């Protein structure tokens, strides 16, 4: 068991400023590498719901190849 600084955190992080005029944001990261970010109350709620559903069905494997990654 080793912990390195390269290891990203996994889970759900929600940033909700106490001020009602501020825009909340949330980031969800799964152990499979899936990462999502949302900004705005409604989008944050959708992200939480989507992450919860995904987490229940996640196999821990990368479900989608990084198609946007350019070949090096």
Binding region for Zn ion (CB under 5 A): 30, 32, 34, 58
Choice between 12 and 32, CB closer to Zn ion: 32
List the strands of the sheet with 25-29, edge to edge.
11-15, 25-29, 35-39
Collect all residues with Cβ–Cβ distance below 8 Å to 58 and sequence separation of at least 6. Answer: 30, 31, 32, 34
* Distance in Å, CB of 34 to Zn ion, minimum: 5
Choice between 48 and 58, CB closer to Zn ion: 58
Choice between 20 and 67, CB closer to Zn ion: 67
């Amino acid at each position: 068991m080793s912990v390195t600084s390269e290891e990203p955190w996994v889970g759900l992080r929600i940033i909700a400023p106490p001020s009602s005029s501020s825009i909340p944001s949330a980031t969800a990261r799964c152990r499979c590498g899936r990462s999502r970010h949302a900004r705005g109350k409604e989008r944050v709620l959708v992200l939480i719901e989507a992450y919860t559903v995904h987490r229940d069905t996640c196999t821990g494997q990368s479900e989608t190849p990084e198609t946007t990654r350019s070949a090096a």
